[in-house]
Structures are given as C-alpha cells and as structure tokens.
Amino acid sequence: MIYKHEEYEIDLAKVTRLYPAALISAGGESASVSLEWAQMKEDKIFLEAYVLICDFDPVGEVPVNRIELKFETKEQLFLAMNDISILLKEEN
C-alpha cells in the first residue's frame, strides 16, 4: 500500500515507526518535539511545521532511513494520519 504526499510515495508496509511531531526552531537549529510539548510551550517557541515521521529502520536501531512529511497545520497532519489509517485498514 502506497501513501502519496507531495514528491513522496511511501510504501507503508516498509514503515517500522510512524508518529506525528512538531518541527520547531530552537537556537538556530530545527528540532522535532511532541505535539503536546509544542502546545504547552507555544508562546515560547517558533513552530516551523507539523510533521509525520516515517522511519524504515528496524525498531531498536537508531533511525537513519527516515522521511518527514511536512504540513502547515495540525488539521492537515491529522487528515494525513486518517488517510493512512484508512489505507492500513483496507489492507487488513
């Protein structure tokens, strides 16, 4: 099952970890943090984007093979998560 987002075509069968995050700027660097943490600190951080992180490395290994799908709003992120959920249910 393939999920398409902008220039990416992701084979969901190969994804080992899939999770949402917020991409923030901190000290001139970008960092991925939990959505909850970003919401608690929203008045102290600069939110660059919402991301859906797709890791392809085996669980327990440091993730090297990763795709981050970027979204401007949390609603867009949640819609993508819902679309992926539907694809995965159809596969089973």
pTM of the entire structure?
A: 0.87
- Of the candidates 90, 67, 62, 61, the one whose C-alpha atom is nearest the C-alpha of residue 21 is 67
Torsion angle in degrees (nearest 10) through CA of 2, 3, 9, 10? -80
DSSP 61: S
**Cα 84 from Cα 66, distance rounded (Å):** 17
pLDDT in tens, 12-71: 999 999 999 999 997 888 999 999 999 999 998 999 999 999 999 999 898 899 999 999
The model's confidence at residue 90, banded by pLDDT at 50, 70 and 90, is: confident
So what's the pLDDT on residue 70? 97
- Strands of the chain, DSSP E: 2-5, 8-11, 17-26, 29-33, 46-55, 66-71
